[in-house]
């Protein structure tokens, strides 16, 4: 069955960067997209961006443009999200989510990773 | 402030029905039949409950249904059960530039 397994929790200093991974198993990595969605403590879901692994094309929410980079390694079926210039407001759980097909893309997030807590603190 | 507006909380007794609304604009909810709903229990990842306004993924009980009128989408849960108590988020496709927007979430309490 499809699984998305994310890397472990991180504690970062303000101004630094964090890179979170999301390894997919089950299904064909090139047949779907991977989005990143974050959730600050006690808050709602916020879409950050997504990558189409077969094309290597990434798109980002305007709020995160210039600060986030999403990449994918087809050889290991792993997607990455790197967020730079971290500030305390970036403390959140970061989820990867599979867009069920390249066509349906962000319309349907059918599988989610377990989440990675990123804490930004001095 | 989220792009889509949901009530912060709703409640109902077991066996009753509740409806959660999700209001957007003609650029998202009203412009496309691509609204999805996600259920999230505390400390867990979201789970897809409804997609394309009213379609249910395999395994989701038919007690969950979705609809849309104009710029407002709705999720209705009938025959409420204790395990339905969770946060619910709507999500809409928003065009090729913005791509996707979420609602702020609604906490469902089963009394």
- How many Cα atoms occupy the beta-carbon half-sphere of A27 within 13 Å? 22
pLDDT value for A64: 95
Task: Give the model's pLDDT for residue A8.
Answer: 97
User: How much is the pLDDT for B7?
Assistant: 97
By CA distance, what is A61's nearest residue in B?
Answer: B98
- Predicted local distance difference test score (pLDDT) of residue B44: 97
pLDDT tens for the 111 residues of chain B, in order: 568 999 999 999 999 999 999 999 999 999 999 999 999 999 999 999 999 999 999 999 999 999 999 999 999 999 999 999 999 999 999 998 889 999 999 999 999
Give the residue with greater pLDDT, A100 vs B89.
Answer: B89
Q: Give how far B46 is from chain A: nearest CA, Å.
A: 7
Best of A1, A32, A44 to disrupt the B interface (most B CBs within 10 Å) is: A44
Contact by Cβ (8 Å): A116, A93: yes
pLDDT of residue A27: 84
Distance from CA of B87 to the nearest CA of A (A): 9
Q: How far is the C-alpha of B18 from the C-alpha of B12, rounded, in Å?
A: 6
* SS3 of chain A: CCEEEECCCEEECCCCCEEEEEEEECCCHHHCEEEEEEECCCCCEEEEEEEECCCCEEEECHHHCCCEEEEEECCCCEEEEEECCCCHHHCEEEEEEEECCCCCHHHCEEEECCCEEEEECC
Is the C-alpha dihedral spanning A101, A105, A106, A107 positive or negative? negative
Residue in A97, A107, A112 nearest the CB of B52? A107
A74 pLDDT band, cuts 50/70/90, is very high
Compare CB distances from B102 to A46, A107, A115 and report the shortest one's residue. A46
| Nearest CB to B93; choose among A107, A110, A113 | A107
**pLDDT score recorded for residue A38:** 98
Contact A109 B104 (CB under 8 A): no
The predicted pLDDT at position A102 comes to 84
Residue among B55, B109, B52 nearest B83 (CA)? B109
Taking the alpha carbons at both ends of chain A, their separation in whole angstroms is 40
Instruction: State the pLDDT at residue A110.
Output: 94
Pairing between β-strand A68-73 and β-strand B106-110 as defined by DSSP bridges = unpaired
CB A90 within 8 A of CB A69: no
The answer to whether the beta carbons of residues A5 and A115 sit under 8 Å apart is no
Look-up: residue for tokens 């912060």? B8
Spatial contact of A72 and A78, defined as CB atoms under 8 Å apart: yes
By CA distance, what is A95's nearest residue in B?
Answer: B45
Query: Chain B closest CA to A73's CA: distance in Å?
Result: 23
């Amino acid at each position: 069955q499809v699984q998305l397994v994310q890397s472990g929790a991180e504690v970062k200093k303000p101004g630094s960067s964090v890179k979170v991974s999301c390894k997919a198993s089950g299904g064909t990595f090139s047949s779907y997209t991977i989005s990143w969605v974050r959730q600050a403590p006690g808050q709602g879901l916020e879409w950050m961006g997504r990558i189409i692994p077969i094309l290597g094309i990434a798109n980002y929410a305007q709020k995160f443009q210039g600060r986030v980079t999403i990449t994918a390694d087809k050889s290991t079926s792993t997607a990455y999200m790197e967020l730079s210039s971290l500030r305390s407001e970036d403390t959140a759980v970061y989820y990867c989510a599979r867009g069920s097909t390249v066509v349906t893309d962000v319309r349907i997030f059918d599988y989610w990773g377990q989440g990675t807590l990123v804490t930004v603190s001095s | 402030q989220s792009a889509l507006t949901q009530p912060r909380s709703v409640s109902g007794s077991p066996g009753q029905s509740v409806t959660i609304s999700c209001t957007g604009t003609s650029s998202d909810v009203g412009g496309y039949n691509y609204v999805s709903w996600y259920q999230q229990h505390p400390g867990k990842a979201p789970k897809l409950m409804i997609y394309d306004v009213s379609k249910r993924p395999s395994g989701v009980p038919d007690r969950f249904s979705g609809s849309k009128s104009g710029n407002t989408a709705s999720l209705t849960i009938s025959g409420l059960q204790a395990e339905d108590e969770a946060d619910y988020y709507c999500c809409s496709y928003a065009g090729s530039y913005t791509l996707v927007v979420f609602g702020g979430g609604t906490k469902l309490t089963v009394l």
